[in-house]
Amino acid sequence: MSKSELRQALEAAVDERHCADHPMWDKLAAGELGRNACMGWAVEHYHWISKMLTEATFQICSKAPADVIELELENFHEEEDPDEPHMEIVLQFAEANGADLSAVRTGEGLPTTRSWAAWLKNVAREEEWYCGIAAIRIGTESQSPRLYSRVLPSLRENYGFDEDAIKHFWLHSEVDIEHSNRGFDILDRHCTTPEMKETAIHFARESARMRWFYFDGIYLHYEQGYALQ
């Protein structure tokens, strides 16, 4: 199926700062990123999601149409699946790289992580619902297939992780294709004016830039030893 003009513009906005192209991800794909930074990525991912997901989801739902609420709740319940919560899956990778999980769970995350989570919550709270969808589903979640598939060969071959340790990577490289497609479809359906489309593109672009900044923080702190905390 051909992509709409809006989807092409949204994808182009995200690609301007797609984290699959970040220097930290280059090193991970080449098998050159230190285990401390591998751990740090998982720790900060845990803090970002745990600080953002619940509030942002329900702020969007509070002002969105029924089909958007359905999308948001389905995604939320999948992330919070009591039989296999996704946050526990990402912590498996942190633990495989030496993290103390009790310390992680009581921690706060880097300032760059807290900044990105706060920005996403603010968008969901203060802006129109479709801005939150553009920021979270497009600016962030749509990155997952290229982001994670790029490093999976290295995680297996260069680092020797078993499949349980890297489940977050192979799981989200698959399921987030559907999640992001539904986000694109929602915006295609509801963003019917030029102003709405331009606003959605803006928030997708800004979210990708904020995620890049968050990656900068992880790379500086855990790999290059610049103490951000």
pLDDT at position 2, please?
73
- Selection from 132, 150, 146 nearest residue 61 by Cα: 132
pLDDT at position 83, please?
67
What is the three-state SS of 41-59? HHHHHHHHHHHHHHHHHHH
pLDDT at position 82, please?
65
Of residues 174 and 107, the one with the higher pLDDT is 107
- Confidence check: pLDDT of 1 > 60: no
pLDDT at position 176, please?
60
Of residues 223 and 84, the one with the higher pLDDT is 223
Percent of the chain with pLDDT over 70: 95
Give the chain's mean pLDDT.
Answer: 93
Query: In the chain, what are the domains?
Result: 9-223 (1.20.910.10)
Question: Do 112 and 214 form a contact (C-beta atoms < 8 A)?
Answer: yes
Model confidence band, residue 4 (pLDDT cutoffs 50, 70, 90): very high
Which residue do the tokens 């709270």 mark?
125
pLDDT at position 76, please?
82
> Among the residues of the chain, which ranges form H helices?
5-15, 23-29, 35-61, 66-79, 86-96, 101-105, 111-126, 129-133, 144-157, 167-190, 194-218
Q: Quick one: average pLDDT of 192-196?
A: 97
pLDDT at position 181, please?
85
Express each pLDDT in 37-83 by its tens digit. 999 999 999 999 999 999 999 999 999 999 999 989 988 887 666 66
Q: Quick one: average pLDDT of 174-199?
A: 88
Phi and psi dihedrals of 114, rounded to 5? -65, -35
Residues 6+ apart with CB under 8 A from 56: 120, 121, 123, 124, 132, 136
pLDDT at position 179, please?
67
Q: Quick one: average pLDDT of 203-208?
A: 98
Express each pLDDT in 70-123 by its tens digit. 989 988 887 666 666 778 999 999 999 999 999 999 999 999 999 999 999 999
pLDDT at position 74, please?
87
